[in-house]
Amino acid sequence: MLEDWQKRFPNCEPVGHWLRVAFPDRWVRFHSLPESKRYPEDESEYETVLERHNCILGELTGTERRIVLLTAGYSEDLVAVRGPRFDAVDPNATLWRSVVTHEFDGDSSPPGYWHVFASVWDWRPKTFDPIVRSVADCTLANVMIVAPDCRWLLHPYDGGMDVITESPTSRDRLKAAHKEWLSVYDSGL
């Protein structure tokens, strides 16, 4: 599982906001709600959030249904931790790797570590609805969904999703198919 991480994401650790900076030619951001509204306020808006995530995941997976869920916890030492909310929604996750964030962020004090946990899922539409809804509500963060061969990655955040595709061509195709979900800003944010 995830043996191809360094091949597909060279010199970049599995931290969502680092990936979009490291791979701008393969990155696209989709907003979860019309007019770039950030937070859903009623069930119809939650339904839109979930439909958009399921749509993009369906296009990324194609006929392949096996995918990997990555979740992360943070600590100031190498003892791997993950919050109880993650334990509840993803109890079978195992520690995949720890990332020394203070070395990458240029901050030497205090030390910081992301502990990335992974689990394999058989994806179908709605599989991750509880997780995506929790991310939209800001009760979960630091979630990534990735192909086992790492050819694509989806990082949901409160307000949308960052997607890293396998190539600029596949990114452009995905952008063209869902241009109404894109940011109005040139930065793509």
pLDDT tens for each residue of the chain, 189 residues long: 678 999 999 999 999 889 999 999 999 999 999 988 999 999 999 999 999 999 999 999 988 889 999 999 988 888 888 888 888 899 999 999 998 887 666 655 677 888 999 999 999 999 999 999 999 999 999 999 999 999 999 999 999 999 999 999 999 999 999 999 998 877 778
Residue 133 in any domain: the answer is yes
Query: Does a structural domain hold residue 186?
Result: no
| pTM confidence score | 0.92
Q: Has residue 188 been placed in a domain? A: no
Q: Is residue 71 part of a domain?
A: yes
111 part of a folded domain: yes
> Does the residue 187 lie in any domain?
no
173 in a structural domain: yes
Cβ neighbour number for residue 58 with a 10 Å cutoff = 12
Range of the domain at 147: 5-181
72 within a domain of the structure (yes/no): yes
Please state the domain count of the chain: 1
